[in-house]
Structure 1
Amino acid sequence: MKKHLYTLGLAVALLSGCSTSQTATQQRISAEEAPSHFAGTITAADLEKHLRILASDSLEGRETGERGQKMAAEYIANFFKANNITGPVSTGSNPYYQEFNLEKSTWGEGYVMVGQQKFSMGKDFFVLGASPFQTEQNTEVVFAGYGIDDPAYSDYTNLNVKDKVVVVFSGEPKKNDGNYLISGTDKMSTWTQDPRTKSAAATKKGAKAVFVITGNTDADFQQMTRRYAGMLTRPSIGFGSTPTEPRAALAYISPTLAANLLNVKPEQLTSYNSSVAKAGKSISSPYKVAANVKIKTERNRQPLPTENVLGYIEGTDLKDEVIVLSAHYDHEGIKDGKIYNGANDDGSGTVAIMEIGQAFAEAKKAGHGPRRSILILAVTGEEKGLLGSEYYTENPIFPLANTIADLNIDMIGRNDKQHEGNFNYIYVIGSDKLSSELHAISENANKTYVNMELDYTFNDPNDPNRFYYRSDHYNFAKHKIPVAFYFNGVHEDYHQPTDDVEKINFDAAQKVTRLVFHTAWDLANRDKRIVVDSNKK
């Protein structure tokens, strides 16, 4: 890997120049010329200048909570300050930092005892995130169907799960005609797409953990959970649980463990799914659960301070309403002595939102400031489970009720195999799922100013890649805030130590960044905020 000989001191010195086109804002610019003029301050050269620092070896892969991530945070905050972009955080020592604690932990001993039979963590089950079973505990088990609590279908009606372990099936129920019960169509819902919805539902009901039955056979289970095996020996990062904010542990369990917990043979488990399909609604549990269950999933923990980096451009007459422009600036750090620089993932998105913030700041300086306020949100912990954006949406600096949209950028400097040799495209995901107006604005911005191919392949609710749920916009979408996600697809260097600056196409990144800027400009300056009129999955 080619070494970049940048230091943070050099990086700060480079910021003194800000944008290569900053002096152009001193000229008089008409309102009609303003969008194109300030989009023009976003250049491939500026994107490259910043990315060569953020994705250099000296930042050590920007691992969440580690030195390189904090160096990146300092660089981004200094950029905001140098460009007259305000730090909006009133608590803490730095107005650009939203500071919070994560938890770094490793697994110790883990098992489930059902009577005298012992099931091992890493073979029969995997726990994701925190665990409430530091020492061996006698545990009451309850079966809760699919673990769904939805207006259209609930497995929790008249069911007490407080302080218990809830055993549920993966996915969601279908009718005999093959359509899903919740949607009434062949489109699955978030109850299938995002397993966190089941742990969240269990948490609200007071459960200690939710065990999700995974696969129809143990061979299925091993295949479907193979990627979790390596996690047992590596430190993981998450929020953890606190006495005031308990989180139900989420575990994937094998059919054999599930059968022992429910006192049936593994091959009898699928009869429940058939019964629900026949009834067309949730049914009472047919199982007499095991009574003598003990669980231990030991977790060795230490606090891990980290920070989101925020830059704010205050609007004019509609300043109380906010458009968020987000990207994650963390990456994978160092593994086996190799630095994972994450130039595309998501250094490219990070420098894009920095340049968009600078363009809006220049517009404001020249008398063309946005009517609505702009929040540039560089989040931490995305690679660990969208943690930084989750923290922001649970602890917003500006009320979510006043947040009209999130435009999220994650990987925009490469192309995938489906677009080999073509850099004039970008996948757009989620733009129509909550607001038809946002989708139309995005389309119009592209047609008017950029003319890229907007590819909606991954917007399909049945897309097996589930990209809609895999980047930071999703934490805004969960709160019914319209989102659009800009993404170039997966390439051969994705999550590899070879994701380096030399492979970035900065002209392509410039076009996408300008597209997002124009979309944000329209959102910020239109008379009425966009409507939330859709509820697509």
Structure 2
Amino acid sequence: MTFFNFPRLSYFRSFELMNKLIMQGLLALACGLPAAAQQAPAKIKVKTKNAAASATSAAVDWSRTYAATIVPAELRQRLTVVASDAFQGREVGQPGQKLAADYLVKQLTEIGLQGPVTGGDTPYLQHFQLTRGNYAEGGYLKVNDQRFEWLSDFFSYGPMASPFLKETVSKPVFVGFGVEQGTYSDYNGLDVKGRDVVALMGEPQDDRGHKLLKPMGRKPDYWDSGLRKAALAKAHGARSIFLVTFAPTAAFRKEAEQFASTLHDPAFSLPEPGPEIIDTVAENIPPGIGVYLTSQDLGLALAGTTMNGLLDYVRAVGAAGRALPSPFQSPTATVFLPQKEEQLTTENVMGYLEGSDKKDEVLVISAHYDHLGVKHDTIYNGADDDGSGTVAVLQIAQAFAKAKKEGHGPRRSILFVLMTAEEEGLFGSEYYTAHPVLPLASTIADLNIDMVGRTDRKHSPKKHFVCLVGSDKLSSELHTISEAANRDYTKLELDYRFNVPGEPEHIYYRSDHYNFARRKIPVIFYTTGEHVDYHKATDDVEKIEFDKLAERAQLVFHTAWTLANREQRIVVDSNKP
């Protein structure tokens, strides 16, 4: 799962759960009644029921039958390969990711799926280009004829694509503390789409030092994170955010020297992103956002004030107990942040199962197979993130292919997509939804699986659960079908804590389903929450709970079975934030 969809700054969370199902056999028909007794040997008449009627009355539940083929042993077998050292952490564009793609193609071929991609070297791979960039020397920012230097007066909050590759004239917008919670909003009345915002680090406080905003769950310092402020700025459509520290400039420059070494990791972007989408939740969300820490002197210059003026503003907010409009006039600034760039090729992997009488409609079942690669000679295998989702998709595909081979195939077609470059910013799904191999207008839903092999910190290891995100946001029917599938079959505890409006972790925006949802395609995101090995080298196969992984994959299968076989396509009738 990616982190706020920031290019290469991506890293966040996920989850797990499930239980076994048993095959249901066909009952033998026929029962007999003896005739009345005679002195002579009596013939026994056997009354046989009509075979067709009996078959109908004892109809097999094929969803249960084929879901039962999704078993822990096969999941373990496949995940042991996907999350092995041989694939070197499956980093996008690197040899390990290519090896993983080759393995997945072989698996989809053996399962019996078709390749839906035309015009390429193989119909199972959708190739596309990514730009890989690193900051170059010579960056600067000018305000009021004063020049501030890159890596001295400001630096980025980690590696990310620069929005200022050419010298860019900007009119910054001061947004106070850059926070929004309940009735408190520093963005109230401001239009920052495509603009560069300036925000103070920290949170608003009253004159006694008490924070004005209530703690966010178990995160009392939630808004102290610059990344969360950046996520909010991005949701409002900002191009970049400059975070002003209160540390003296000399102290800041020492910190900048130490932090500079972290900026050597690459940042990624799509050279040709899809067209702008008016989102159901936040309009015109950009593909990425620049996030920069500034020295005190540069921050004051960007805000258009002095330290005394800034302190007066902070005190006024505390006294009012609410966000106040800025009294400052930010001056025009000029920004130049060059990058060294190279192009690389990566690929989504996909397999197609054609439906019967409703084959022109398609259901997408997805997961991402890339991970973080090798860092400091240590391989990050990503067994849960998202090896668990990858092998779940393979097992679900195998179950549907078996059903079709035995004469019980789906009415609608199913496209199984294993996305690349999710960790770098959801680029695989962004590219697919901008360049679909099957029409998006015919795509009824996306069921996306990302981290479903572990138990998170919230749940007891004894719990059989899964977290669902997005099921009710675009289609009430999809949510009803999902609930029914769990009630009738898997009986897991369904956790919707990531599905509520204003959810602080922004999980809804942080995996591949989101690019489908942006285009008004109903989605369900299956995950199981953050655990201690999230985005660490210790996320290994040995820690996966395969019985629970099988149960969760079965829930996805049962939901998909209904979606693929019901008479009417699900309606899009909801629009929840």
TM-score range, shorter chain: 0.7 to 0.9
Match of 1:234 in 2: 265
Identify which of 108, 125, 132 aligns with 1:80: 108
Bigger fraction of residues in helix: 1
Check whether the contact 1:241–1:247 (CA below 8 A) recurs between aligned residues: no
Match of 2:409 in 1: 369
Closer, same or farther: CA 265–522 of 1 in aligned 2, 3 Å: farther
**How far did 1:316 drift?**
1.6
Closer, same or farther: CA 96–197 of 1 in aligned 2, 3 Å: farther
Identify which of 453, 478, 482 aligns with 2:518: 478
Match of 1:445 in 2: 485
Match of 1:487 in 2: 527
- Summarize deviations over 1:183-224 as a string: whole Å, max 9, x none: xxxxxxxxx98967966986xxxxxx82324468569xx9xx
Check whether the contact 1:344–1:411 (CA below 8 A) recurs between aligned residues: yes
Closer, same or farther: CA 500–482 of 1 in aligned 2, 3 Å: same
- Summarize deviations over 1:234-265 as a string: whole Å, max 9, x none: 122222579x9997863445484343134223
Closer, same or farther: CA 273–375 of 1 in aligned 2, 3 Å: farther
Q: Which has the higher contact order (CA 8 A, sep 6+)?
A: 2
Check whether the contact 1:65–1:304 (CA below 8 A) recurs between aligned residues: yes
Match of 1:36 in 2: 64
Name stretches of at least 5 consecutive residues in structure 2 with no aligned partner. Answer: 1-21, 26-54, 179-186, 202-211, 214-226, 277-285
Name stretches of at least 5 consecutive residues in structure 1 with no aligned partner. Answer: 1-20, 172-177, 180-191, 203-208
Amino acid of the structure 2 residue aligned with 1:236: A
Matching of residue 524 in structure 1 with residue 552 in structure 2: no
Q: In structure 2, what is the Cα distance between the partners aligned to 1:122 and 1:519?
A: 54
Closer, same or farther: CA 372–232 of 1 in aligned 2, 3 Å: same
Question: 1:383-422 to 2 correspondence within 5 Å?
Answer: 383-422=423-462
Closer, same or farther: CA 267–396 of 1 in aligned 2, 3 Å: farther
**How far did 1:226 drift?**
13
Matching of residue 461 in structure 1 with residue 490 in structure 2: no
Identify which of 470, 475, 490 aligns with 1:430: 470
Report the 3-state secondary structure (helix = DSSP H, G, I; strand = E; otherwise coil) of the residue aligned with 1:38.
Answer: helix
Closer, same or farther: CA 133–421 of 1 in aligned 2, 3 Å: closer
**How far did 1:124 drift?**
2.7
Report the 3-state secondary structure (helix = DSSP H, G, I; strand = E; otherwise coil) of the residue aligned with 2:337.
Answer: strand
Amino acid of the structure 2 residue aligned with 1:327: A
Check whether the contact 1:427–1:456 (CA below 8 A) recurs between aligned residues: yes
Match of 1:381 in 2: 421
Report the 3-state secondary structure (helix = DSSP H, G, I; strand = E; otherwise coil) of the residue aligned with 1:406.
Answer: strand
Closer, same or farther: CA 154–372 of 1 in aligned 2, 3 Å: farther
Q: In structure 2, what is the Cα distance between the partners aligned to 1:385 and 1:522?
A: 31
Check whether the contact 2:133–2:267 (CA below 8 A) recurs between aligned residues: yes
**How far did 1:68 drift?**
0.9
Q: In structure 1, what is the Cα distance between the partners aligned to 2:400 and 2:390?
A: 16
**How far did 1:72 drift?**
0.8
Q: In structure 1, what is the Cα distance between the partners aligned to 2:376 and 2:422?
A: 21
Amino acid of the structure 1 residue aligned with 2:401: A
Q: In structure 1, what is the Cα distance between the partners aligned to 2:141 and 2:406?
A: 65
Report the 3-state secondary structure (helix = DSSP H, G, I; strand = E; otherwise coil) of the residue aligned with 1:374.
Answer: strand
Identify which of 73, 88, 108 aligns with 1:60: 88
Percent identical pairs in the alignment equals 45
Amino acid of the structure 2 residue aligned with 1:118: F
Q: In structure 1, what is the Cα distance between the partners aligned to 2:240 and 2:420?
A: 29
Matching of residue 90 in structure 1 with residue 131 in structure 2: no
Q: In structure 1, what is the Cα distance between the partners aligned to 2:555 and 2:444?
A: 18
Closer, same or farther: CA 227–255 of 1 in aligned 2, 3 Å: closer
Amino acid of the structure 2 residue aligned with 1:265: T
Match of 2:140 in 1: 111
Amino acid of the structure 2 residue aligned with 1:383: E
Match of 1:326 in 2: 366
Identify which of 171, 175, 180 aligns with 1:141: 171
Match of 2:239 in 1: 210
Report the 3-state secondary structure (helix = DSSP H, G, I; strand = E; otherwise coil) of the residue aligned with 1:533.
Answer: coil
TM-score of the superposed pair, with normalisation by structure 2: 0.72
Matching of residue 535 in structure 1 with residue 575 in structure 2: yes
Question: 1:122-161 to 2 correspondence within 5 Å?
Answer: 124-126=154-156, 129-131=160-162, 133-134=164-165, 137=167, 139-141=169-171, 143=173, 155=190
Check whether the contact 1:414–1:423 (CA below 8 A) recurs between aligned residues: no
